[in-house]
Amino acid sequence: MTEATTATTQAKTAKKTGAPFGLPNYEIPKIDLPKIEVPAAFRELADKGIAQARDTYEKAKAATEKATDQLKDTYTTAAKGAAAYNLKVIEIARTNTNTAFDNANELLGAKSLSEFVELSSAHARKQIEAMTAQTKELTELAQKVTTEIAANDWRQGDSKASDKVA
């Protein structure tokens, strides 16, 4: 009788190896596999495969680093170009605003309807000429940035990438 009670007491006090909640931890039995000698041809083939994989990895890593550097340069050039373009747009807006206020002052000083129409027509003509010149400046600036990106960043990157990944 004492043997039966000690067995149940030991079963009750056995420690769980798992977390208090969740799945219990079971150990996977270890199986001793027989040691097999790998033929030299297989080892040589595996070594060649590993060497080729390392070589391919190094080439891919180098190409990726070049592409990353190229993208950084391109985005830097594009950001500088966008900033210059935006500054030019702000300058144009400021000039146009000043011109509009100057025109309003001139129109307020007009003594007759014919003088008012003449001032308005002259201002409209000047604004169309100015707008044409401003559009030309913005177009040239955009083309300059695009050319810098294409010529400096991308074409140089293509000439550098002569060793492509196999």
- Other beta carbons within 10 Å of 153: 19
* pLDDT tier at 42, thresholds 50, 70, 90: confident
* Cα–Cα separations (whole angstroms), residue 6 to 15, 16, 17, 161: 16, 19, 22, 78
Percent of the chain with pLDDT over 70: 77
Greater pLDDT, 98 or 10? 98
Tell whether 20 is covered by a domain.
Answer: no
Average pLDDT over residues 25-51: 82
**What does the alpha-carbon distance between residue 131 and residue 127 come to, in Å, rounded to a whole number?**
6
CA-CA distance, 166 to 148, in Å (whole number)?
30
Q: What is the pLDDT of residue 165?
A: 44
Check residue 26 and report its DSSP letter: -
Domain range for 91: 52-161
pLDDT of residue 54: 94
Domains in the chain: how many in total?
1
* CB-based burial label for 96 (10 Å; 0-12, 13-18, 19+): middle
Average pLDDT (103-112) is 92
Angle ∠(117,128,114) on CA atoms, nearest 5: 5
Q: Is the pLDDT of residue 85 over 50?
A: yes
For the packed helices 40-108 and 113-148, what is the interaxial angle rounded to 10 degrees? 170
Q: Give the mean model confidence (pLDDT) for residues 66-84.
A: 90
Q: Is residue 8 part of a domain?
A: no
Q: What is the mean pLDDT of residues 71-86?
A: 91
**Token output for 136:** 């030309």
pLDDT-derived band at 11, boundaries 50, 70, 90: very low
| 31 within a domain of the structure (yes/no) | no
What pLDDT band is residue 87 in, cutting at 50, 70 and 90?
very high
Residue 149's pLDDT band, with cuts at 50, 70 and 90, is: confident
Does residue 138 form part of some domain?
Answer: yes
Within-domain flag for 34: no
Is 132 a domain residue? yes
Establish if 76 belongs to a structural domain: yes
Instruction: Specify the range with the lowest mean pLDDT, choosing from 8-17, 52-61, 62-71, 116-125.
Output: 8-17
Cβ neighbourhood burial of 132 (10 Å; 0-12, 13-18, 19+): exposed
Position 28 in a domain: no
